[in-house]
Amino acid sequence: MNQLEQLKAYTTVVADTGNFKQMAQYAPRDATTNPSLILKAVQQAEYAPLLSEAVAAHKGRPLDEVVDRVLVRFGLEILKVVPGRVSTEVDARLSFDTAATIARAQRLIAMYEAAGIGRDRVLIKIASTWEGIQAARALEQQGIRCNLTLLFSFCQAVACGDAGVRLISPFVGRIYDWYKKQAGASWDEAGMAGANDPGVRSVAKIFHYYKKYGIATEVMGASFRNVGQILALAGCDLLTISPDLLTQLQSAEEPVTRALSPQSEAAEVPHGCTFNEARFRWALNEDAMATEKLAEGIRLFAADAVKLDALIQGS
């Protein structure tokens, strides 16, 4: 078996792309999208008609509604390919507005339901700010399942678990990027690979904490820079992987061994804890990497949302 087939024995594989025509060859169970991936897809000639049709069908409606129609249209096409769930993201510009995030999530779900898709097949992606986590708490209580993204720190993961969030997406590659940049010339690529990779260590810590304390929230490693990071997390609940890395896994046949298991005990698993708003904000503030990467991630997604707005307005 190739490495992708072997990995599927331990972990649910998720495709991280808006390119649904490319997706079937990897046979993922779920798929994730974000503003950047959708923007990239709609600028390809093969997807231009889909964008035009969605915009034309809702001409005269508010821009934010038309954007959501485009996102859902892509989600509907993806759900024809994958047997599981699609993640559709709330506008990153609402990351600090709990009420607006709830309203946008409810609208996205209503659009899916109007197209005959049940709530069990959709995850609403929301940034892991305090406001986003509280929005997810309310949405989960309404039966709207959430995927908390842009997650870089342990305090974000604990707060998501406390809120009853269905799934979190800790960003392995962006954590790795930060530590590598900080180390500069002293970075030891070989020494910081595999289980020693700072992004891998962060996800493993969260995974073992959730399993130790019976937290039902699913852990989905995301944002990978290389195959080594993926294989070091074999056994994580889910892993969302870009097409380039899926292709690399599909082309390799070296043995894949399970790295994480619910039964395995990590060397250091923190004691059970909880965060109110003040403690959460302080813990996040104390983590320079998480603070910087969360802010940067929101800015980048918001910038791509602006570009998508402009593209739609010009259609």
Q: Is 125 a catalytic residue?
A: yes
The single residue of 21, 80, 125, 307 carrying the catalytic annotation is 125
Q: Please answer whether residues 38 and 44 qualify as being in contact, where contact means their C-beta atoms are separated by less than 8 angstroms.
A: no
| Exposed / middle / buried, residue 117 (Cβ in 10 Å: 0-12, 13-18, 19+) | middle
CB burial of 163-200 (b: ≥16 within 10 Å; e: otherwise) equals: bebbbbbbbbbbbbbbebeeeeeeeeeeebeeeebbbb
Token pair for 81 = 């390919």
CA angle 81, 83, 86 (to 5 degrees): 75
What are the residues whose beta carbons fall under 8 Å from the beta carbon of 154, sequence distance 6 or more? 202, 205, 206, 209, 270, 283
Residues assigned a catalytic role: 125
